Structure 1
Amino acid sequence: MVTALPETARQVVFPARDEISVLTAAVPAPGPDDVLVRVALVGICATDLHLLAGHIGDPFPLVPGHEFVGEVAALGERAAADRGLAVGDRVAVEMLLPCRSCARCREGRYNLCERDDMATGLPRGRQYGVNIPRTVEPGLWGGYAEYLHVPAEAIVHRLPADLPFERAVLVEPLAVAHRAVARGRVAPGDRVVVIGPGPVGILTTAAARAAGAGRVVMVGTRDERLALATRFGADAVVNSRTSDDLAQAVRAALGGADADVVIEIAGVAAAQNDAVRLVRRGGRVVLAGACGAAVPVTFLADEELLTREPDLLPSFLSAGGFEPAIALLTRDTFPFEQLVTHRFGLDDVETAFETIRGRRDGVLKAVLDPSA
């Protein structure tokens, strides 16, 4: 099922480390099992800046962008029948294209697909906007673009027709948050600490609250972001930069008790160390922040690990998180639109990156609008 399509589409391309271009690519009609998505909005993630800096492999030339939402522009007959989709449907596509046949995919942990080159060193990966080079046909593998190619192995989620794209664009980071909360086995009544009040961290407070957490405390260094976290489910906040004794301050914020679950989403080694030190004996620590480079983390083997026996639970990507994320976005429990503070066109990517790097103009979450 193909409607009138443009012959070419514009894309932001990283030709090489620290290089940005805006180029065009051919837009082929989708095959029988494929979907072509017109990108409505795509979030800018810290991972994109790490990719540009060459901190995550050598995927160049790369079309970045993995936090995209859009609508079906065209699709093959089998794709329409198998997926139950039609032209015009609003969709979100998970960033990982699982092979569905390796041991990890078969056990349900498709975020760890063994055919992804970040795990195996294969010449091409399976992550949109991260490790599928533009040279892989048809070259439409990133969300910083007008159109995106969606093959049969992709995981596609239909979005409610009345869910605004301005809110839906948060589905991928919110899915990451939901996976982190699930990895931490957050249960009703649990005392939860979230470290890192960036967009995913703030969304993690919302996901923890939605999971029934009894008390949620956000830890960070920027007061304006900490204040925003209180609108997304945090009962209290702690500024780790101004606290003389972080553990004591967090304990006081939790009502005199230690945390059952600590979720680190800051992406710095010091925060991962803090996470282990803040959790109660036998508690759960979720490490979900990507540091973007080979950063060592050191724990005291006996004092912090052996004799306290916390569960250390890395959380990678968003597997299993899209369904609860979409459900939460459809409710008015939290002011999701307040997270998206800046909107840029494809030609303004460098300005967007400079704004984010410089933390200018109160930027929290910036998105690209390919139609701008």
Structure 2
Amino acid sequence: MPGLPTLTSSRQVVFEAPDEIALVHQPVPPVGIDDLLLRVVRVGICATDLHLLAGHIGDPFPLVPGHEFVGEVAAIGADAARRRGLEPGDRIAVEMLLPCRSCGRCREGRYNLCEADDPAAGLGRGRQYGVNIPRTVEPGLWGGYADMLLVPAEAITHRLPATLPWDDAVLVEPLAVAFRAVHRSRLAPGETVVVIGPGPVGILTAAAARSAGAGRIVVIGTRDERLALARLFGADSVVNSRSEDVEAAVRAALGGRLADVVVEIAGVPEAQQQAVALARRGGRVVLAGACGAGVPVTFLADEQLLTREIDVLPSFLSAGGFEPAVAMLGRGEFPFSSLVTHRFALEEVAEAYRVVASRDGGVVKAVLDPTRGDVV
């Protein structure tokens, strides 16, 4: 690929402190025997990244953000190559979670809830690329807003089809989040699903629910252009909550009934409250949208939960979702690249954030392409 960086230095976007962004160069050490170096080709911009910059999520500074990254193996140690079956040039996705693989939660497959601490490295539980591993942790290559990224032994990698377009591949992490949410819902074939929040993950949740055998799918949102996209990804009906009576519209779409499953991915308390109200008696509600630290959500304990026996099931991150996500992307059964509406070089991250925050130009999913612009 023309213009790719060398292995000696990597550009990085760094959040130095709240609302402070810098572009720096980080030395790239020789690859360890059980590690690999990833050359980042695409990295998605997530709302979480904007919250991190604003200081709304912990205190990870200085931080190299970016957890939705895909790329090519740039270099790989001998043991890693043998264990992973990879070689330089292979296209891979790397999960954002770096689990210990030995705590109780990891052993039961819920490695998104990893309980291991690493005090020596200054890390708490649930190490996540681009979210809570500061740049000060050696070798400082822990975020996807960069040319290069370290993939140690505990990281989870997935081979991508060689022919998969990068603008499709970069959706693997949000699609994995969607698949986990659907898995948490215990969706049975033929059941009805309501999705609240037609952002990229919400739209992809409609696709994941369709793949899992949902009967009818309704997507609720406030922007008609996003709702039109949701129809391309499996939604049978859409509801604009600004102009329609939501419950009446859902009942009309589902033959007079409320939904068997409601998945909330909007990340606001009002949407979570609405999700409970739209589930049938004995239904399931999956809360997958992060509202931010310290944000309370109030439900009517008796009227909405107890007497209706609603199962409320939080869904956190993407554990177990990458395998079906890679398979679906490989099949190409939905117009995935249509979600990627804006592409920016690393040097353009401030403009990218302006576009995302202002929702300018009909942005749906914005991505950074480190192969554009100046490289080391």
TM-score range, shorter chain: over 0.9
**1:266-294 Cα distance to aligned partner (Å, 9 max, x none):** 00000000000000011110000011332
- Show the 5 A alignment for 1:89-238: 89-115=90-116, 122-123=123-124, 126-238=127-239
Are residue 297 (structure 1) and residue 297 (structure 2) matched? Answer: yes
**Which residue of structure 1 aligns with residue 325 of structure 2?**
325
Deviation at 1:5, TM superposition (A): 4.3
1:216-268 CA distances to partner (integer Å, 9 max, x unpaired)? 0000111110111000000000111112x321111111121110000000000
CA separation of 1:24 and 1:124: change in aligned 2, threshold 3 A: farther
Matching residue of 1:339: 339
- Contact kept, 8 Å, 1:115 with 1:122, in 2: the verdict is no
Residue 260 to residue 226, structure 1, CA distance change in 2 (3 Å): same
CA deviation map 1:66-117 (0-9, x unaligned): 0000000001100000111101000000000000111100111000001269
Distance of 2:131 and 2:43 partners within structure 1: 14
The 3-state SS of whatever aligns with 1:13 is strand
Using the size of structure 2 for normalisation, the TM-score is 0.95
Q: Provide the C-alpha distance between the structure 2 equivalents of 1:111 and 1:173, rounded to a whole number of angstroms.
A: 15
In the alignment, which residue of structure 1 is the partner of 2:280?
Answer: 280
Runs of 4 or more consecutive aligned structure 1 residues displaced over 3 Å after TM superposition: 121-125
Contact conserved, 1:124 with 1:133, CA < 8 A, in 2?
A: no
Q: Secondary structure at the match of 1:307?
A: helix
Matched AA of 1:154: A
* Residues 197, 225 of structure 1: 8 Å contact kept: yes
Q: Distance in 2 between the 1:132 and 1:114 partners? A: 15
Distance 1:115 1:305 in 2: 34
Instruction: State the 1:162 CA deviation.
Output: 1.0
Deviations 1:132-179 (A, max 9, x none): 000000000000000000000000001111111111000000000000
Q: Secondary structure at the match of 2:270?
A: helix
> 2:8 matched to which residue of 1?
7
Q: State the distance in 1 between where 2:279 and 2:117 align.
A: 33
Q: Would you say the 8 A contact 2:116–2:124 is kept in 1? A: no
SS in 2 for 1:136: coil
What is the aligned partner in structure 1 of residue 370 from structure 2?
Answer: 370
Give the TM-score normalised by the residue count of structure 1: 0.96
Q: Distance in 2 between matches of 1:221 and 1:295?
A: 22
Deviation at residue 187 of structure 1 after TM alignment: 1.6
Rounded to whole Å, the distance in 1 between the matches of 2:27 and 2:124 is 23
Alignment correspondent of 1:350: 350
Instruction: Report the secondary structure of 2:308's partner residue.
Output: coil
Q: For 1:335 and 1:352, locate their aligned partners in 2 and report how far apart those are by CA, in whole Å.
A: 23
**1:266 matched to 2:266:** yes
Question: Could you tell me how far apart the structure 1 residues matched to 2:343 and 2:27 are?
Answer: 26
Going from structure 1 to structure 2, the CA distance change for 1:116 and 1:64 (only over 3 Å counts) comes to farther
**Contact between 1:125 and 1:132, CA under 8 Å: does it hold in 2?**
no
The structural deviation recorded for 1:205 is 0.3
Q: Unaligned stretches of 5+ in structure 2? A: none
Q: CA deviation at 1:123?
A: 5.0
Q: CA RMSD in A?
A: 1.3
Indicate conservation of the 8 Å contact 2:114/2:126, yes or no: no
Where does structure 1 lack aligned partners over 5 or more consecutive residues? none
- 3-state SS of paired residue (1:330): helix
Evaluate the alpha carbon distance shift between residue 21 and residue 194 of structure 1 in structure 2; reply closer, same or farther with a 3 A threshold. same
Contact 1:92 1:157 in 2 (8 A): yes
Question: Which residue identity does 2:12 align to in structure 1?
Answer: Q
Q: How many residues align?
A: 365
| Amino acid of the structure 2 residue aligned with 1:152 | A
Return the letter of the residue paired with 2:356: I
User: Percent sequence identity over matched residues?
Assistant: 74
Give, in whole Å, the separation in 2 of the partners of 1:125 and 1:308.
Answer: 34
Secondary structure of residue in 1 paired with 2:17: coil
Q: Any conservation in 2 of the 1:116–1:127 contact (CA below 8 Å)?
A: no
* 1:80–1:86 CA contact under 8 A, matched in 2: yes
Distance in 1 of aligned mates of 2:136 and 2:292: 24
Report the equivalent of 1:61: 62
Structure 1 residue 241 and structure 2 residue 260: aligned? no
Equivalent position of 1:51 in the other structure: 52
Instruction: State the SS of the aligned residue for 1:367.
Output: strand
Flag the 1:262–1:190 CA change in 2: closer, same or farther, 3 A. same
